[in-house]
Structure 1
Amino acid sequence: MDAWVVPGYTEYRELGSGGSGRVVLALHDATGVPVAVKYLAERMRADSAFVRGFRAEARLLGGLDTPHVVGFYEYVEAPRGAAIVMELVDGVALRALLSREGATGPEAALVVLKGSLLGLAAAHRTGVVHRDYKPENVLVAADGSSKLVDFGIATDHGTAPGVAGTPAYMAPEQWRGEPASPAADVYAATATFFECLTGRKPFSGENLAELALRHIEAPVPDADAPEPLRPLIRQGLAKDPAQRPRNAAVFVAELEAVATAAYGPDWEERGRRRLAALAALLPLLLPSFGGPATGTTALATTTLPAPPAPRP
């Protein structure tokens, strides 16, 4: 049996796939607008909890109005499948940049952190915690801007106790199974910032138990970062969530003050140019180039002129 396709769209090729589904490049038939369609894997449709989570991800994306999170167009569910239709972004995953080029430099790292924090701030204002911020879930566009993607395990602030997230970026309280909070997203964003600055993760371990212990007890490795940016690392990676900025918006204000004092008023423009140059080194990964499929969150996008008109 052929795979189910969202009515009203023509698929062109797969952009990525994973255990929970696949993402394809498609055109909206009525307008010709390119989109990314995230399909729920057929085997997951029998799992009612997973289906509820997929619906929740669509509702969350639909409620966010920010250029720093991938845009939402519509959610479609039918007897043969379910899909989220999203903005297509022509860029590459931050993970690909770090894997192939290493550290980005301080100004580019600050730009990534600021864009990510602004995306997280939009979610935090609605009472939602992302819980899985990491380089795989940040897309760097060809102009050096970035967008946050994949709210698949996001949850309401203060709910969903239990260990959840990606180990290298999980805050100490996540390892302890405590309820989700914006401070945990701040920690994950800072861990990614550290990786952009240094080319490595802040903590490592031979196994999960050792990694957990380092996140919970090891000193913050701020000495590895450029001196002017060490206060941001210390704040964002503080062991006690009460000692971190309470949410992403508060951290953005601190970041801008530190960045301007350290690198001058034009730091953001230079950082974006640097990110654009790094993305240009990986043209084969751009959806516009037609490169091979990658992981589901290692996607690129093209900013859409307008969302497809709702179907009657």
Structure 2
Amino acid sequence: MTNHDSTKPGHLAELEKQYQDLLNNNFLQWNNRRTFSRCLGVGGQGVVYLSAREGADGFNIPVALKLFSPKRYDNARAYQTEMGRLSQVAARVARVQENHLVAVQNFVRRKQIYIMEMEWVDGYDLRSLLTPATFKQIREQVTLRRWKNINNNVFTKGVQQPRLKPGIAVAILRECLAALAALHRNDIIHCDMKPANIMLKRSGNAKIIDIGSAIDLNNLPSNQPCTPTYAAPEVLSGERATPQSDLASLGYILIEVITGFQPFANLKYAQLIKAKQNILQQLPQWFPDEEFALSEPLMKLIHRLVHPNPAERFASAEAADLGEDGAAEFHRLLVKSDLPSDYENELRLWIEEVETDYFDEGQFTADPDTTVFTTRAWQDQDLDELSAES
């Protein structure tokens, strides 16, 4: 039994007793409130809110809460079964400590509704950044000299929307590959790679978000969610997603952000499958003339990401980054050509120049692929998904 010093002030002796009681109990009853600050996204899976984790004496950090709706399920049991599976996926992802992957912090049930809590990411998603409105806003804000530098090194006009310069685009790709590699090593497939699910932080780094469609290869769901525009052809045809399916989706994103052209927009399901199966024949005509000198190594990289046959794609995300014809090899060629290579700093400066007010509360940008809306400083978008029957 613990002896207390009777010479100490009463309140201090009581505090010491409470401290010792906590240690002796070996558990804590930990309850705290989450207030919904504002809605960050609405889609097929439910709603995402900006909230905060509150602690003692004014401690407060922002978090994102994703509330999963039961509306899309046939009955309560189907909802609970799928949430049970997703809870296990979330637990696996939460253990993956990778700087370029959104951190899952909790998965709870309140009044029979399931909620995922995630880190808050201060930045903008690629879909929101690569819009004519953002392009116009930055042009009006910066000096002519700075605008010329941005156009030469970061982003410029594209076919349908602003496009990233190849060095910057591949720098973002490499950080996404690091996140996917970490997931794949744990038998987790993201299953919903798209521009809206890639955040650029104010630090200049990229982070993959939204694991609401992720699957565990050891515990497969009956249905496989996807966003058809960015899904690999084998997934659209009803086959199971694999690591190579995530690589194909990342390849489609790379094509889009480098060219400013969305090759699969507004296509029907059968047309999507055919277009992706014939993609290698279409690639040469999609790239801007001024980048022609870089086309051959860039084409090799893209070919091995988006090849219609999964067996012909890179063997892994690590190979897509560091292997033959991979992203790192392309970057080495840029350095040998004396092209700018301080990508992180360029991205950080560019993100700083995005006008905060443009993305403030109430100013939303629609994702053309889904019914979800995106805004500033959030992380796990809930995007309207279609399910490909397995």
How far off its partner does 1:42 sit? 5.5
CA contact 1:12–1:26 (8 Å) conserved in 2: yes
Amino acid corresponding to residue 47 of structure 2 in structure 1:
R
Structure 1 gap ranges (5+): 1-5, 304-312
Change (3 A) 1:141 1:241: same
The two structures have a TM-score, normalised by structure 2, of 0.68
User: Residue deviations 1:108-156, cap 9 Å, x none?
Assistant: 2112211111111110010111111111111111222111111122113
SS in 2 for 1:132: coil
Identity within the alignment, %: 25
Could you say which residue in structure 1 is the equivalent of 2:298?
229
1:175 and 2:236 aligned: yes
Q: In 2, Cα distance between the equivalents of 1:191 and 1:72?
A: 26
* CA apart distance, 1:181: 0.9
1:92 aligns with 2:164: no
Query: Partner residue of 1:247?
Result: 316
CA distance in 1, matches of 2:49, 2:339: 37
Deviation (angstroms), 1:13: 1.9
Kept in 1: contact 2:279–2:308 (CA 8 A): no
Classify the secondary structure of the residue corresponding to 1:66: coil
Shift in alpha-carbon separation, 1:172–1:18, aligned structure 2, 3 A: closer
Between the aligned partners of 2:224 and 2:44, the Cα distance in structure 1 is: 20
- Structure of greater Rg: 2
Please report how far the alpha carbon of residue 177 of structure 1 lies from its aligned counterpart in structure 2 after TM superposition.
1.6
Task: Find the aligned partners of 2:192 and 2:245 in 1 and give their Cα distance.
Answer: 9
Matched, 1:189 2:250: yes
Moved more, 277-286 or 27-36: 277-286
**Pairs within 5 Å for 1:147-186:** 147-157=207-217, 159=220, 164-186=225-247
CA distance in 2, matches of 1:71, 1:297: 21
Aligned residue pair count: 296
The answer to whether 1:16 aligns with 2:27 is no
Which amino acid letter does the alignment assign opposite residue 168 of structure 1?
T
Report the 3-state secondary structure (helix = DSSP H, G, I; strand = E; otherwise coil) of the residue aligned with 1:153. Answer: coil
Q: CA deviation at 1:241?
A: 0.9
Distance apart, 1:197 and its partner CA: 0.3
**Residue of structure 2 equivalent to 1:309:** none
Alignment map for 1:102-141 (pairs within 5 Å): 102-141=162-201
The alignment status of 1:143 with 2:203, answered yes or no, reads yes
Provide structure 2 residue ranges, at least 5 long, that are not aligned to the other structure. 1-30, 136-161, 367-371, 380-390
Instruction: Output the CA distance in 2 between the equivalents of 1:89 and 1:15.
Output: 12
Quote the RMSD (CA, aligned, Å).
2.9
The separation in 2 between residues aligned to 1:263 and 1:37, in whole angstroms, is 42
Amino acid at match of 2:64: A
Q: 1:219 aligned to 2:288?
A: no
Alignment pair present for 1:200 and 2:261? yes
Partners of 1:68 and 1:266 in 2: CA distance: 25
8 Å contact kept, 2:53–2:62: yes
CA distance in 1 between counterparts of 2:267 and 2:329 reads 37
Please, which moves more after superposition, 294-303 or 110-119? Answer: 294-303
* Helix, strand or coil at the partner of 2:163: coil
Larger displacement relative to structure 2 (251-260 or 190-199): 251-260
Seen in structure 2, the aligned counterparts of structure 1 residues 298 and 246 have a Cα distance that, compared at 3 Å, is: farther
Q: More deviation in 294-303 or 188-197?
A: 294-303
Q: More deviation in 9-18 or 194-203?
A: 9-18
- Does the aligned pair in 2 maintain the 1:160–1:179 contact within 8 Å? no
Residue 25 of structure 1 deviates from its aligned partner by 1.6
| Structure 1 letter corresponding to 2:117 | V
Rate the CA distance shift 1:157–1:42 in 2: closer, same or farther, 3 A. closer
